[in-house]
Structure 1
């Protein structure tokens, strides 16, 4: 009997308690609904910012150090300064999570260039950088029925991913103009999600997702014009442990079309099966048009391991912040 997808059923919009959601902005902790960013913040005006999103599971961060690595590398690449050391960031995020009393969350944290200085557009003169963070209930991007159906994806041609020479995709950014154009094109054509190609015509990313194909029994994910996804790395680690080959490489649209299975990876779901591509069923035989056996095994193992504490850093194990901040209520 084929293995069934096991997806948590409680992480829904209906069950999400946003009354417990919090934000840290300008040195204060406030209820999420009271958080404000000035309208002249350069992150808002010019997307001059970076961010990352880590999720918590049963009160512990999943792969916190990997997310901090990526965030700090993005800050360095974009010449942004969050004004805190790595240890201070860890303590602040853990303190925010503990205050929320939410066990399963998305914790978003960002650094912007700060409020625009009148009379100049020289980024070197905008040195009052702003750090902020939010903690909100984790709502799975793929609910159980959606997971079993899988996403219907469209390869969007004519809207290439921003060239890496222009915007380095390794630095997490909010330059989503190409993603949004691609999404509208896919939605207008009746699909769930867009897959964008790089300027060279090779498969790049989907909006907020890395793309993974199962080819000849092994995993392949694009190596160029993509954000190095932590969720994709997680699935590769699990695959390695299960004896499934996994590599990064050049993936062309025709490779995706002949794949035995396709899935997308993201923090908010781990992975999301793709069961149709450009209108055709993904896969062959009994596995055509449904989540395949490798996809299913990876996702189920992912939840089994998280439930056992794999890559989890309990928020309670991190010391409290070493800076003053105001109570949220």
Structure 2
């Protein structure tokens, strides 16, 4: 009997309590609706910033240290300073989550360039700013959409920003290509675009890594993309289940003939793709490998795999 896709039906917009959403900004915690950044912050004006998003599950962070590794590497690459040590960041994020009372949440944290010093455009002279928010965890796509699977398209007139211009390994908010492609996808009756790199290889989707099951093995692009933690998670699970998985070059024609395909992201783990450019992927429903990976992912999280309870992290140290 075929395994049934186990989707967390409680993670819906209707069930989300946004009254608990909070932000840490300017040294204090405020309701999210009251959080503000200056309109002249260079992060807002020029996307001169980095960020990361970690989720909590039943009161514990999932792969918190991996997200901190990526955030701090992005800060170093973009020459940003959040003004806190790694340990201080862990404590601050845990305190924000505890204060929200949300067991399943998305915790977004960012470092912006801050305000420009009048009379100069030297970015090194700006004082960088850090802030964080916590909101209810809502599936990227609601439960019924996950069961149906996404309908994707590969737009040929919008290429992914070249890595030589904006390094995608440093998580950034340069989403002009993603937004343009998303409008094109929606206009043509699709759910999501999958962008190609300038050389014609498959790159990534807005906020998603792309994974295809081709000739019995999982493959995800190995260059010109964000190094996704959720994709890494699915590959770890695949290895344990004896499913071949690798990073490598993925061409559109390979994606078009894939037996299965899915996208990976923090808010959902993975999201099945069941149609590409109007043609069904495999049988046109979430496939057995996709289903097994997602079900194992939730079973392992429920058992505490890669979970760091927020209560196990000490409160922030008081500054003099």
Instruction: Tell me what 1:241 maps to.
Output: 240
Instruction: Tell me what 1:23 maps to.
Output: 23
Instruction: Tell me what 1:227 maps to.
Output: 226
Q: CA deviation at 1:125?
A: 1.6
The question of whether the paired residues in 2 share the 8 Å contact of 1:7 and 1:143 is answered with: no
Residues in 2 aligned to 1:190 and 1:159: alpha-carbon distance in whole angstroms: 17
Instruction: Tell me what 1:103 maps to.
Output: 103
1:112-170: CA deviation from partner (whole Å, max 9, x where unpaired): 011122121111121x1100000000001133211111000000112110100111110
Establish whether residue 293 from structure 1 lines up as the match of residue 292 from structure 2. Answer: no
1:174-217: CA deviation from partner (whole Å, max 9, x where unpaired): 00000001101111101000000001110000000000000111
Establish whether residue 119 from structure 1 lines up as the match of residue 114 from structure 2. Answer: no
Over the aligned positions, Cα root-mean-square deviation in angstroms equals 0.9
The question of whether the paired residues in 2 share the 8 Å contact of 1:215 and 1:259 is answered with: yes
Tell me which stretches of 4 or more aligned residues in structure 1 moved more than 6 Å.
none
Instruction: Tell me what 1:80 maps to.
Output: 80
Q: Which of the residues 309, 322, 328 maps onto 2:317? A: 322
Instruction: Tell me what 2:305 maps to.
Output: 310
Instruction: Tell me what 1:38 maps to.
Output: 38
Establish whether residue 49 from structure 1 lines up as the match of residue 49 from structure 2. Answer: yes
Give the TM-score normalised by the residue count of structure 1. Answer: 0.96
Residues in 2 aligned to 1:164 and 1:323: alpha-carbon distance in whole angstroms: 41
Partner of 2:154: helix, strand, or coil?
strand
How many residues in Structure 1 have an aligned counterpart in Structure 2? 320
Partner of 2:7: helix, strand, or coil?
coil
The question of whether the paired residues in 2 share the 8 Å contact of 1:112 and 1:129 is answered with: yes
Partner of 2:160: helix, strand, or coil?
coil
Unaligned regions of 5+ residues in structure 2, if any? none
Residues in 1 aligned to 2:301 and 2:293: alpha-carbon distance in whole angstroms: 12
1:147-296 mapped onto 2 (5 Å cutoff): 147-283=146-282, 288-296=283-291
The question of whether the paired residues in 1 share the 8 Å contact of 2:116 and 2:123 is answered with: no
Residues in 2 aligned to 1:148 and 1:4: alpha-carbon distance in whole angstroms: 9
The question of whether the paired residues in 1 share the 8 Å contact of 2:231 and 2:264 is answered with: yes
Q: CA deviation at 1:103?
A: 0.2
Partner of 2:124: helix, strand, or coil?
helix
Instruction: Tell me what 1:61 maps to.
Output: 61
Partner of 1:55: helix, strand, or coil?
strand
Q: CA deviation at 1:320?
A: 0.2
Partner of 2:145: helix, strand, or coil?
helix
Give the TM-score normalised by the residue count of structure 2. Answer: 0.99
Q: CA deviation at 1:324?
A: 5.5
Instruction: Tell me what 1:141 maps to.
Output: 140
Q: CA deviation at 1:296?
A: 0.2
Unaligned regions of 5+ residues in structure 1, if any? none
Residues in 1 aligned to 2:112 and 2:153: alpha-carbon distance in whole angstroms: 33
Partner of 1:5: helix, strand, or coil?
coil
Residues in 2 aligned to 1:6 and 1:142: alpha-carbon distance in whole angstroms: 14
Q: Using the TM superposition, name which of 238-247 and 141-150 deviates more.
A: 141-150
